[in-house]
Amino acid sequence: MSTTVILLPETRDNIICLRLRGTVTAPDYKDVFAAVVEDVCARYDWYNIYVDHDSSFRGWEPEAADLSFRCISTYGGKARRMAYTNPPDSLHLLMKMLEPLHTCETRFFDAGEEAVALAWVHQDIHI
């Protein structure tokens, strides 16, 4: 069972909802994050993603960061909306640098705005 990447119950169809906590490990990334994105992309032409950064989130192990970059390179073009709650400052810069790999709307939300972020990711969804 993953302890650093948690699939949230708000996940449905092509809406992926995750929570990151602690330091994301490569096995957790592969078993949850990458597996869910790959599965959704195999079944749908696009997806939206919500990522909540738990207050315990400390970043990524190097191998997990590498896997994340590969996943974004492969599947980022299928994303329509990305919502990040309580993200570290470094994520803003990273997402700006990765813009050529995806053309989706990306929004950042503060801690306490989880409901707003989830509503935004789920709004106007026509599967």
Give residue-wise pLDDT tens across range 60-112: 999 999 998 898 889 988 999 999 998 876 654 555 655 655 677 888 899 99
Say which CATH number the domain at 55 has.
Answer: 3.30.750.24
Tokens of 42: 């195999």
Residue 110 lies in a domain: yes
Beta bridge partners of 82: 49, 106
Confidence class of residue 117 from pLDDT cuts 50, 70 and 90?
Answer: very high
pTM of the entire predicted model: 0.88
Each residue's pLDDT tens digit, 26-70: 999 999 999 999 999 999 999 999 999 999 999 999 999 999 889
Q: Range of 22's domain?
A: 5-122
Residue 127 lies in a domain: no
Say how far apart CA 33 and CA 85 lie, in whole Å: 16
Residue 78 lies in a domain: yes
Residue 108 lies in a domain: yes
Say how far apart CA 71 and CA 15 lie, in whole Å: 16
Domain count, the chain: 1
**CA 81 from centroid of its chain's CA atoms:** 10
